[in-house]
């Protein structure tokens, strides 16, 4: 009797699995690689695999999160599109001619306006970055807009919150947007005093509502700050003591972050207002000219700020990366904590390496996500066999997300070289067309090389059987990581 009962249950589970697999194939709208990975999960975890798919594998509703522009940016954007189509868009001397198509692609497909005459400073040390940010917040007179994926309830997080409370008491309008999953450890009382003083802190994709809506896999990974519409920050640093190198397990935290002045700050402001309004539909930000003051920058750096996420057309930052790689003639330097590229990115980078372009990839020497690191190692080894040089950063944890090519173009932002950043996360990157800045980024990479070891065929082949097995198994799941 027990055997008959078990046989019946097994048959029912098999039928359910077949139905669910058909559902994924017909309605899932996944690429073949991702679809096969999910089918494998369904095969090994019958029924449970489908609930995991509902929670972690569904696509976002683009209509619900449509990406609109604000009046202050929309006029400039449409003018630039028309000028580019008629070959009238002014491109500065610092912008190489072969990158014109990259500018046009990002302008047309991501509504990324070309901003010129900006001042841009780069920070690679958390202490220096937060000292500069705190100084700018201290000087704020009108508003402070902050957005971070992770905010910790620790010394740095408390220091930032207390400074925001002080500014709110002074009458400065303070808005803080954080991701519900990345900042899930924040207690309910952490921002209570800020709220009492008139500031606001809101969660993007709160965990409870994300679970109820089966959208736990979507995360707002952007990190930016706008102070009085005149100074902006964006890049890889989150808010927590580990970003100051105070986590013993990870050690020194090596990241890349930008400080900006100029029209580029207006573009960051637009991004924040859109994200805040999407996360708080009942309490959005009304358009106000005071958020977009006349820029006072005398800089000379042209750039585009590019957003991507499951709400957009798809892969805007990724397409920018691939276009840069395809235009490379001399070198490509990439830093990323995770290297799990999409097939298109991997193919383009392999072709560059096989074409004698000097491809160098730098990754950390330790994982902060144990499932991801073995897959990263597998992919960098593939690039090594194609002729790329692979560097393992040894001086702490490398969290930088940057690329520099041919002393011509650089990209710094929140997007990792992985499938999650390409397809699931809401990301933000700056594409910078400036020779002097690119040379600075190249020098930073060379400096980091002095704190790195180069991966060789010999050291890679010397891995233990356990390490090799993990890489082989986890790589099968790479589309889901």
| 228 catalytic residue (yes or no) | yes
| 223 catalytic residue (yes or no) | yes
Q: Which of 46-50, 68-72, 88-92, 389-393 has the highest mean pLDDT?
A: 389-393
**What is the number of H-type helices and E-type strands within the chain?**
17, 18
- Choosing from 30, 221, 319, 434, which is the catalytic residue? 221
Summarize pLDDT for 293-321 with one digit per residue, the tens. Answer: 888 778 899 999 999 987 666 678 999 99
Which run of H or E residues covers position 350?
A: helix 343-354
- Choosing from 145, 223, 266, 278, which is the catalytic residue? 223
Fold equal for 117-300 and 316-480:
yes
Count Cα atoms within 13 angstroms, Cβ side, for 173: 10
| 136 catalytic residue (yes or no) | no
Sequence-distant (≥ 6) Cβ neighbours of residue 450 within 8 angstroms: none
| 448 catalytic residue (yes or no) | no
Q: Considering the chain, what is the average pLDDT of its residues?
A: 85
Name the 3-class secondary structure at 298.
coil
Residue 467 confidence (pLDDT): 80
Residue 1 confidence (pLDDT): 47
| 202 catalytic residue (yes or no) | no
| Paired residues of 332 in beta bridges | 359, 405
Provide long-range contacts, Cβ within 8 A and 24+ apart, for 275-284: 275/147, 275/177, 275/204, 275/220, 275/222, 275/426, 276/145, 276/147, 276/175, 276/177, 276/202, 278/65, 278/204, 279/177, 279/202, 279/203, 279/204, 279/205, 279/220, 280/202, 283/200, 283/202
| 406 catalytic residue (yes or no) | yes
- Choosing from 311, 406, 418, 448, which is the catalytic residue? 406
CATH 3.30.870.10 fits 316-480, yes or no: yes
Summarize pLDDT for 13-62 with one digit per residue, the tens. Answer: 666 666 666 665 555 555 656 665 666 666 666 666 666 665 555 555 54
CATH of 117-300 among 3.30.870.10, 3.30.420.40, 3.90.180.10, 1.20.140.10: 3.30.870.10
> Which sequence spans correspond to the domains of the chain?
2-56, 117-300, 316-480
- Choosing from 136, 228, 311, 448, which is the catalytic residue? 228
Residue 427 confidence (pLDDT): 95
Question: CB neighbours (10 Å) of residue 334?
Answer: 25
């Amino acid at each position: 009797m027990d055997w008959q009962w078990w046989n019946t249950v097994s048959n029912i589970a098999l039928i359910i699995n077949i139905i669910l697999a058909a559902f994924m194939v017909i309605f899932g709208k996944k690429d073949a690689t991702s679809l096969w990975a999910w089918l494998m999960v369904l095969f090994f975890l019958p029924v449970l695999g489908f609930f995991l798919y509902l929670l972690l594998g569904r696509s976002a509703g683009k209509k619900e999160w449509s990406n609109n522009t604000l009046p202050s940016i929309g006029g400039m954007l449409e003018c630039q599109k028309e000028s580019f189509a008629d070959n009238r868009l002014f491109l500065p001397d610092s912008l190489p001619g072969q990158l014109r198509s990259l500018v046009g692609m990002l302008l047309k497909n991501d509504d990324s306006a070309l901003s010129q005459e900006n001042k841009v400073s780069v920070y690679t040390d958390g202490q220096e970055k937060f000292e500069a940010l705190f100084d700018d917040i201290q000087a704020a007179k009108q508003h402070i807009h902050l957005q971070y994926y992770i905010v910790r309830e620790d010394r740095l997080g408390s220091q930032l919150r207390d400074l925001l409370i002080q500014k709110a008491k002074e009458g400065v309008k303070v808005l803080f947007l954080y991701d519900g999953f990345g900042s899930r450890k924040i207690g309910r009382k952490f921002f209570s005093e800020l709220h009492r003083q008139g500031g606001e802190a809101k969660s993007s994709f709160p965990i409870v509502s994300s679970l109820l809506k089966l959208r736990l896999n979507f995360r707002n990974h952007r990190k930016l700050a706008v102070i009085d519409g005149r100074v902006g920050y964006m890049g890889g640093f989150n808010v927590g003591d580990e970003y100051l190198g105070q986590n013993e397990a990870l050690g020194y935290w090596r990241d890349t972050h930008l400080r900006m002045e100029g029209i580029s700050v207006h573009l960051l402001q637009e991004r924040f207002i859109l994200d805040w309004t999407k996360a708080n539909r009942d309490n959005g930000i009304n358009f106000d000219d005071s958020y977009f003051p006349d820029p006072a920058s005398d800089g000379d750096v042209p750039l585009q700020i590019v957003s991507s996420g499951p709400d957009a057309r798809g892969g805007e930052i990724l397409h920018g990366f691939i276009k840069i790689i395809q235009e490379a003639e001399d070198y490509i330097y990439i830093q990323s904590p995770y290297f799990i590229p999409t097939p298109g990115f991997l193919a383009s980078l392999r072709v560059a390496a096989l074409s004698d372009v000097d491809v160098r990839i730098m990754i950390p020497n330790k994982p902060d996500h144990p499932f991801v690191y073995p897959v990263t190692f597998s992919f960098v080894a593939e690039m090594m066999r194609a002729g790329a040089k692979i560097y393992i950063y040894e001086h702490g944890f490398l969290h930088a997300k940057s690329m520099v090519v041919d002393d011509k173009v650089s990209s710094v932002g929140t997007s990792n070289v992985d499938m999650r950043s390409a397809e699931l996360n809401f990301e933000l990157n700056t594409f910078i067309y400036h020779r002097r800045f690119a040379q600075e980024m190249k020098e930073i990479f060379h400096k980091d090389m002095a704190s790195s070891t180069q991966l060789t065929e010999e050291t890679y082949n010397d891995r233990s059987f356990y390490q090799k097995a993990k890489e082989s198994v986890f790589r099968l799941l790479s589309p889901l990581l």
